[in-house]
């Protein structure tokens, strides 16, 4: 029995139980569903029979706009597998790289004397 068939059977048992005891509220309370859901199922069942009880879920989208780019995922997985880094350390490493880019490239030329905070932290971390 597939999951869809099980779900149809469950919905049908809710409808049958409500009809048997003659009280929608008690049936809904027993099965843990809202009355509005019950009436939706009942109307669909009356219109289409068993086909009306099939699930109408659409699933998740496969092209999410905020999806993490594949190259970033590969870098994170490389750090996890090769260096056994956890999420906090990976975020810290990423922030250090951003600081290095700022201090080495984005500052005025006169400000690039001495060690950058990134270089100092790198020495301390070993």
Domain boundaries, position 92: 70-125
**Does 41 share its domain with 74?**
no
**Does 47 share its domain with 76?**
no
Q: What is the mean pLDDT of the chain?
A: 82
- Is the per-residue pLDDT at 39 higher than 90? yes
- Is the per-residue pLDDT at 112 higher than 60? no
- Is the per-residue pLDDT at 3 higher than 70? yes
In a domain, 65, yes or no: no
**Does 48 share its domain with 82?**
no
DSSP 3-state of 17: helix
**What's the number of domains the chain is made of?**
2
In a domain, 64, yes or no: no
CA 95 to CA 91: how far, in whole Å?
6
Could you tell me if 41 and 17 are in contact, meaning their C-beta atoms sit under 8 angstroms apart?
no
In a domain, 80, yes or no: yes
In a domain, 23, yes or no: yes
* pTM score over 0.85: no
DSSP 3-state of 1: coil
**Alpha carbon of residue 76 to chain centroid:** 18
């Amino acid at each position: 029995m597939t999951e869809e068939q099980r779900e149809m059977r469950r919905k049908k048992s809710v409808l049958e139980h409500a009809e048997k005891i003659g009280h929608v509220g008690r049936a809904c309370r027993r099965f843990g569903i809202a009355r509005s859901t019950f009436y939706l199922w009942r109307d669909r069942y009356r219109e289409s029979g068993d086909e009306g009880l099939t699930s109408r879920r659409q699933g998740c989208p496969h092209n999410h706009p905020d999806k993490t780019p594949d190259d970033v995922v590969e870098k994170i997985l490389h750090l996890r597998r090769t260096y056994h880094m956890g999420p906090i350390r990976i975020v810290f490493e990423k922030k250090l790289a951003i600081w290095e880019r700022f201090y080495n490239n984005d500052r005025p030329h006169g400000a690039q004397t001495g060690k950058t905070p990134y270089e100092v932290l790198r020495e301390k971390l070993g």
